[in-house]
């Protein structure tokens, strides 16, 4: 793309850095990187595809960082990876066929529930608790559903995974965050493959933002491991509420636009 100047690429690098940092702790890095790609001149599909390609590097870096410190055992995640990859692949194919209106109406309520769960449960996520499902059925249900959602739509996936890990599997917050990065990488990778085969990925901004994602994710993961729940919980609540606000605003803006068009018709 000829309009991608050095200055714009520099801003995309910073957006990748910030997105990787936030995403490695609480998810929601796409709130930073996708708007940056749109402002750089990419069309919406290309922006989504390029974001998946670059954020894949951030989630992979965060996964390795958490795994090396013993917060997640990758061998125990084979079913999570299999089901999440399948769900994300189906979602990525579906988003090119179907509209995402239903998602924009339902997801804000789930994100508000996640924020309230973490906000008003002061002891939630500090230590491991009793689990309500065994891991294979848990990953079958949530891997397929949240994998599909991430491939189809995406915003808030990290928050929803963290909520599921803490509330259903009884993980502490840091452990939940580490496991979330594994499934985030899986769904990002699956989406990237299908977007790349369809020719939607723009490679120069992908490369620039990938470098930022690598650095940001490493810094973010180390910050989360150092400060634990004190950093993860407030950021998770904040990201959930910011994404909810954006989705509600976009939905209301689209509704008002359609109403004005109909009134003027």
- The model's pLDDT over 192-233, given as tens digits with 9 standing for 90+, comes to 998 899 898 999 999 999 999 999 999 999 998 887 767 776
Per-residue tokens: 50: 């390029």
Residue 4 makes CB contacts below 8 A (sequence gap 6+) with 40, 41, 204, 205
- Residue 52's alpha-carbon distances to 178, 191, 194, 218, 243, in angstroms, are 19, 7, 10, 18, 17
Task: Give the separation between CA 29 and CA 31, rounded to whole angstroms.
Answer: 5
Quick: pLDDT tens for 111-169: 676 667 666 655 555 556 677 889 999 999 999 999 998 888 777 788 889 889 988 99
Of 69, 67, 52, residue with least CA distance to 157: 52
Please report the pLDDT score of residue 13 as a whole number.
95
26-57 b/e (C-beta count within 10 Å ≥ 16 → b): bbbbbbbbbebbeebebeeebbbbbbbbbbbb
Q: Per-domain residue ranges for the chain?
A: 6-264
Task: Give the separation between CA 54 and CA 217, rounded to whole angstroms.
Answer: 12
Q: Has this prediction a pTM greater than 0.75?
A: yes
Contact 47, 202 (CB under 8 A): no
Contact 207, 105 (CB under 8 A): no
The DSSP line for 119-143 is HS-TTTTTS----SS-HHHHHHHHH
What percent of the chain shows pLDDT beyond 90?
Answer: 37
103-120 b/e (C-beta count within 10 Å ≥ 16 → b): bbeebbebbebbbebbbe
């Amino acid at each position: 793309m000829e309009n991608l100047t050095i200055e714009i690429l520099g801003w995309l690098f910073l957006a990748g850095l910030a997105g990787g940092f936030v995403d490695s702790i609480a998810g929601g890095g796409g709130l930073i990187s996708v708007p940056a790609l749109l402002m750089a001149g990419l069309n919406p599909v290309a922006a989504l595809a390029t974001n998946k390609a670059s954020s894949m590097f951030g989630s992979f870096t965060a996964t390795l960082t958490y795994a090396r410190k013993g917060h997640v055992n990758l061998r125990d995640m084979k079913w999570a990876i299999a089901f999440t990859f399948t769900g994300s692949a189906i979602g990525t194919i579906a988003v090119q066929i179907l509209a995402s209106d239903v998602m924009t109406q339902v997801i804000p309520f789930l994100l508000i529930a996640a924020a309230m769960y973490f906000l008003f449960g002061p002891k939630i996520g500090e230590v491991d608790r009793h689990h309500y499902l065994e891991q294979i059925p848990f990953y079958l249900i949530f891997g397929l559903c949240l994998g599909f959602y991430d491939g189809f739509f995406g915003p808030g996936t990290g928050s929803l995974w963290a909520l599921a890990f803490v509330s259903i599997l009884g993980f502490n917050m840091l452990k939940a965050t580490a496991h979330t990065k594994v499934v985030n990488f899986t769904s990002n990778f699956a989406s990237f493959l299908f977007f790349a085969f369809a020719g939607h990925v723009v490679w120069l901004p992908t490369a620039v933002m990938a470098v930022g994602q690598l650095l940001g994710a490493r810094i973010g993961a180390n910050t989360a491991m150092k400060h634990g729940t004190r950093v993860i919980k407030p950021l998770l609540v904040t990201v959930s509420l910011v994404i909810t606000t954006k989705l509600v605003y976009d939905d209301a803006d689209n509704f008002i636009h359609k109403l004005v068009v109909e009134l003027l018709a």
